[in-house]
Amino acid sequence: MKTVIIKYNAGNVQSVMYAMDRIGASYLWTDDEQEIRTADKVIFPGVGEASTAMSYLREKGLDKVIPSLTQPVLGTCVGMQLMCRHSEENNTTCMGIFDLDVKRFDSTNFKVPHVGWNNIYNLKTDLTQGLRENSYMYFVHSYFAELSPYTVAECNYVQPFSAMLQKDNFYAAQFHTEISGKEGQLILENFLKL
């Protein structure tokens, strides 16, 4: 099986690679369109800022490649936000795979960013098979995807928001599966088993 981790200016993806190593999965880290198109699984990680990431994807033509993929794709953190329609982070037009908007948490009564371990619930995707309701995942983010028909796991901070999304072959998680302990690892394993 060929798994590709998409290479772009997404900050540090080393943790994702080590997580793949821990579960004994091989991967290719690349931004080459052919390699991405011929992969069995595609991981689209992300740490960083939305508009910078989107400009890089546009420059490489990846903003067209990613939405046209037909194999299972997993976007995490900013990767997930870039798969939505629009992000309030520097008013960024994103790839629009998920027809919903990414907004900033209201910081009136809460600390923003949302940092730390929070429970996810209403789990209804193949990726959460074997995971108990209210499992804890590690989050670090200031922007969130609203609840929508694509929401397959929820989390609550300031308000309920989408912890995971799914539409056809596209899967996404707001939290960092790669550093969310055994539970995060299970989600990665489930994805690779699809």
Partner 1 sequence: MLTKRIIPCLDIKDGRTVKGTNFVNLRDAGDPVELGAIYAEQGADELVFLDITATVDNRKTLIDLVRNVARHVNIPFTVGGGISSIDDVSALLNAGADKVSINSSAVRRPELINELALQFGSQCIIVAIDTRFVEGEHIVHTHGGRKPTELRTIAWAKEVEDRGAGEILLTSMDTDGTKAGFANELTATISANSSIPIIASGGAGTMDHFTEVFTTGKADAGLAASIFHFKEIDIIELKQYLQQQGISVRL
Binding site residues, partner 1, CB under 8 A? 11-12, 14-15, 18-19, 21-22, 47-49, 107, 111-119, 136, 138-141, 156-157, 176, 178-182, 184-185
Question: Of these residues, 84, 94, 141, 176, which one is catalytic?
Answer: 176
| Shortest distance (Å) from residue 96 CB to partner 1 | 24
3-class DSSP assignment, residue 82:
helix
Give the single-character DSSP code of 7.
P
Paired tokens of 132: 């108990």
* Angstrom distance (rounded) from CA 75 to CA 82: 8
Query: Between 38 and 134, whose beta carbon lies closer to partner 1?
Result: 134
Query: Between 39 and 82, whose beta carbon lies closer to partner 1?
Result: 82
| Shortest distance (Å) from residue 177 CB to partner 1 | 10
| Alpha-carbon distances of 18 from 14, 47, 165, 166, rounded to whole Å | 6, 16, 24, 25
| Shortest distance (Å) from residue 100 CB to partner 1 | 23
| Shortest distance (Å) from residue 101 CB to partner 1 | 21
Query: Between 87 and 180, whose beta carbon lies closer to partner 1?
Result: 180
Is 77 a residue of the active site? yes
Is 176 a residue of the active site? yes
Paired tokens of 116: 């730390």
Query: Between 94 and 97, whose beta carbon lies closer to partner 1?
Result: 94
Question: Of these residues, 84, 114, 178, 183, which one is catalytic?
Answer: 178
SS (H, E, C) 102-170: EEECCCCCCCCCEEEEEEEECCCCHHHCCCCCCEEEEEEECEEECCCCCEEEEEEECEEEEEEEEECCE
Active site residues: 77, 176, 178
